[in-house]
A and B are shown apart, each in its own frame.
Chain A
Amino acid sequence: MRFIRPRLRKPAGIALFGTVYAAAWLVHGGNGWQWAITAEIGVIAFTIAAYLRGGRDSDEDALYGSRIDERQQLIAQRSWALAGKVTMFAAFAGVIIAVAARATWWWPFAAILAVTGFGYLLGLSNYGVGEEGPADDADDGHQVRSPVKR
């Protein structure tokens, strides 16, 4: 997305994913084309709104304009983390209710739970655990030469 101007990145993403959603309704067949047109109109409106918001002066509008500083990036990361937690708890509640009700639709909740849990483990792997390097004074048993010449 680096080749797109920052202010156009979010609107372009909304337009792309929204159009894919509308296309899915079109492929669905039957009266799906009506939903596709409705969805595409909504996507165009949302895309224009996102572009206009990207030029305004607030934390949320900075996110739309892809011109966030470190504090706004922290806010966005915390928001995504909260979204992930809420999704996990909602999926867990769905599994519990479906199992208790002896319903056959338990597996979509289990799938969401598994994917979110996998995303969490992926995050740990990428951003935290396992990044530790050797200690500064580690010499692997070899004699370390002094940088000071005698």
Chain B
Amino acid sequence: MSRQTVISIEGGRYLPSLPLAFAIARFFDMTVDKMFDPANEEAGT
């Protein structure tokens, strides 16, 4: 995964595919719904 894609995901400009989302969540030892829950982003968490 490129640096630009990481920045885009962090900035909310790109939503990763399910396999990539699972890989990212596994890397950070979190669940996918906690990492990519839109409700959390709206609340600023």
Q: At the interface, yes or no: A71 with Cβ under 8 Å from chain B?
A: yes
B5–A57 contact, CB under 8 A?
Answer: no
B3–A72 contact, CB under 8 A?
Answer: no
Q: Please indicate the chain B residues that have their CB under 8 angstroms from the CB of A140 in the complex.
A: none
Q: At the interface, yes or no: B20 with Cβ under 8 Å from chain A?
A: yes
The residue in chain A whose Cβ has the minimal distance to the Cβ of B17 is: A70
The residue in chain A whose Cβ has the minimal distance to the Cβ of B1 is: A69
**What is the interface of chain A mostly: helix, strand, loop, or mixed?**
helix
- What separation, in Å, do the CA atoms of A70 and B19 have in the docked complex? 11
- What separation, in Å, do the CA atoms of A62 and B16 have in the docked complex? 18
Q: At the interface, yes or no: B2 with Cβ under 8 Å from chain A?
A: yes
Q: At the interface, yes or no: B8 with Cβ under 8 Å from chain A?
A: yes
Q: Please indicate the chain B residues that have their CB under 8 angstroms from the CB of A59 in the complex.
A: 2, 4
Q: Please report which residues of chain A, range 55-102, place their CB below 8 angstroms from some CB of chain B when the two chains form the complex.
A: 57-59, 62, 68-72
Q: Please indicate the chain B residues that have their CB under 8 angstroms from the CB of A57 in the complex.
A: 3
In the assembled complex, how far is the CB of residue B11 from the closest CB belonging to chain A, in whole angstroms? 12
A-side interface residues, number (CB < 8 Å): 9
- What separation, in Å, do the CA atoms of A58 and B14 have in the docked complex? 16
In the assembled complex, how far is the CB of residue B12 from the closest CB belonging to chain A, in whole angstroms? 13
A58–B4 contact, CB under 8 A?
Answer: yes
Q: Please indicate the chain B residues that have their CB under 8 angstroms from the CB of A62 in the complex.
A: 2, 4
In the assembled complex, how far is the CB of residue A58 from the closest CB belonging to chain B, in whole angstroms? 7
- What separation, in Å, do the CA atoms of A62 and B17 have in the docked complex? 19
Among B3, B4, B17, chain A packs the most CB atoms within 10 A around the CB of: B4
Among A58, A70, A71, chain B packs the most CB atoms within 10 A around the CB of: A71
A71–B14 contact, CB under 8 A?
Answer: yes
Q: Please indicate the chain A residues that have their CB under 8 angstroms from the CB of B4 in the complex.
A: 58-59, 62, 71-72
| A–B complex contacts, Cβ < 8 Å, 9 sampled | A62-B2, A62-B4, A68-B2, A70-B17, A71-B2, A71-B8, A71-B16, A72-B2, A72-B5
